[in-house]
């Protein structure tokens, strides 16, 4: 699966049928994953900051689409770092939820 396809499969970019908390939570996890990638490579700031700003209103379809296009334009290595960090954050949420 290509990284771009993986971004498109994220709940935040599928949008339809998501509740407020699911959508907001997914936006937070993705923003945190972008921060993790930026901390690993500060040169990504110029590319990631506009994506994070676009994601600032996860309920605005046009802004979500802008974020997605910015993420898909990143170099493959940066995409991979974001996807890996996102998966770790998502796995942590699932483990906490299953322990209850």
pLDDT per position as a tens digit, 30-52: 999 999 999 999 999 999 999 99
pLDDT band at 97 (very low <50, low <70, confident <90, very high): very low
Tokens of 44: 């990504």
Compute the distance between CA of residue 72 and CA of residue 79 in angstroms, rounded to an integer. Answer: 7
DSSP 48-69: HHHHHHHTTSTT-HHHHHHHHH
CA neighbor of 86 nearest in space, from 47, 46, 33: 33
pLDDT over 60 (residue 1): no
85 has pLDDT over 60:
yes
Quick one: average pLDDT of 81-87?
93
Percent of the chain topping pLDDT 90: 53
Q: Using CA atoms, how far apart are residues 69 and 67, in angstroms rounded to an integer?
A: 5
Rounded CA-CA distance 90/94 in Å is 6
């Amino acid at each position: 699966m290509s990284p771009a396809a993986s971004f498109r499969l994220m709940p935040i970019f599928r949008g339809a049928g998501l509740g407020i908390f699911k959508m907001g939570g997914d936006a937070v996890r993705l923003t945190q994953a972008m921060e993790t990638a930026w901390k690993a490579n500060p040169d990504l700031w110029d590319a990631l900051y506009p994506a994070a700003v676009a994601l600032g209103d996860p309920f605005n379809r046009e802004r979500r689409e802008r974020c997605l296009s910015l993420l898909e334009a990143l170099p493959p290595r940066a995409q991979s770092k974001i996807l890996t960090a996102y998966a770790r954050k998502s796995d942590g949420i699932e483990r906490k939820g299953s322990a209850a």
